[in-house]
Amino acid sequence: MKTSQGKKGSRPFTQTTLDALNGIALGLESERSLRLHVFAIALVVFIGIIVGLTLTEWALLFLTFGLLTALELVNTAIETVADFIHPDYHPAIKRIKDLSAGAVLIAAVFSVAIGIVLFAPKLIMYF
């Protein structure tokens, strides 16, 4: 695939990084669920500091944060492409959107499960 500047890969790393950051900003601007995930991440980080998570627990949480956030952005991209290709309702487009949303839901459910496993024992000690 060619870019507007010629051959694939000819754009400077700084420009592609700025494009990626723009994509994150677009996602935060347009997707309520992504903003909710970011709020939840901030809350979990705050609680993690309070309960004193280990380095391994932090690593697991950061992996979970990254996976969930990335899947949310991929889901948004898939939905955007699907809407561009076929703006009207179509059963195949609905299926595509449902599948990508299902991936995000699975990641969110398992993120909550990881949070429970990591935080429940520590929070029980506080009560």
The verdict on residue 2 lying in a domain is no
Domain containing residue 70:
13-126
Question: Residue 53 sits in a domain of what CATH number?
Answer: 1.10.287.3610
pTM of the entire structure? 0.84
19-61: per-residue pLDDT in tens?
999 999 999 999 999 999 999 999 999 999 999 999 999 999 9
What domain count does the chain have? 1
Whether 5 shows a pLDDT value over 80: the answer reads: no
> Does 29 qualify as catalytic in the annotation?
no
Encode the chain in three state secondary structure.
CCECCECCCCCCHHHHHHHHHHHHHHHHHHCHHHHHHHHHHHHHHHHHHHHCCCHHHHHHHHHHHHHHHHHHHHHHHHHHHHHHHCCCCCHHHHHHHHHHHHHHHHHHHHHHHHHHHHHHHHHHHHC
pLDDT tens, residue by residue, 75-114: 999 999 999 999 999 999 999 999 999 999 999 999 999 9
Q: Is 6 within a domain? A: no
pLDDT at 9: 61
Q: Which of 29, 57, 72, 79 is catalytic?
A: 72
pLDDT at 127: 75
Please check whether residue 5 lies inside any domain of the structure: no
